Copies of this chain bind each other. A is one copy, B any other.
Amino acid sequence: MATKDKDLNDLFLDTLKDIYFAEKQILKALPKMAKAATSDKLRAAFEKHGGETEGQVERLEQIFELLGKPARGKTCDAIMGILDEGKEIMDEYKGTNALDAGLLAAAQAVEHYEISRYGTLKTWANELGMKDAVRLLDETLKQEKTTDESLTKLAETAVNLAAAA
């Protein structure tokens, strides 16, 4: 399994494939989450993030191109597990006033997975001297952090207050 001459370049490419697969799964999940949301604000947030995710997929494709490699995903068990938990919440809390709080929690778990992966990739791109990749990864990283902050605000205000009422 282990090849002694594997290095940080291989790890970078493997992780790029991992997050590429993850983004494509997220792109499929977001419209379902938007449809399930009862709050208009939450639905709008999911729809907005769907558009951003398309841009993030394109940036990943640009990095594959910089590396001269085909853009290919690699099954990411982590995102599958995170999204499965989200689906479970959608089933178990459907029709209850805690559904939106559960959807927000699922979305924030997704955001944090992405923040960790993009942070890691940016650090490695820096060390590998890939300036263009650093710029692209940083753009997405900032977007993910902003999304997470706006989800936190939603969680702290309207959505959960309704659930607790």
Contacts and interface: CB of A to CB of B under 8 A. Distances in A.
Q: Is the interface of A mostly helix, strand, loop or mixed?
A: helix
Interface of A: 1-8, 10-11, 14-15, 18, 76-82, 84-85, 89, 91-98, 101-102, 104-105, 108-109, 111-113, 115-117, 119-120, 123-124, 126-128, 152, 155-156, 160-161, 163-164
A116 B128 CA distance: 30
B94 A85 contact: no
Contact of A97 (B7, B93, B117): B7
A5 B92 CA distance: 11
B120 A116 contact: no
Contact of A81 (B79, B89, B92, B104): B79
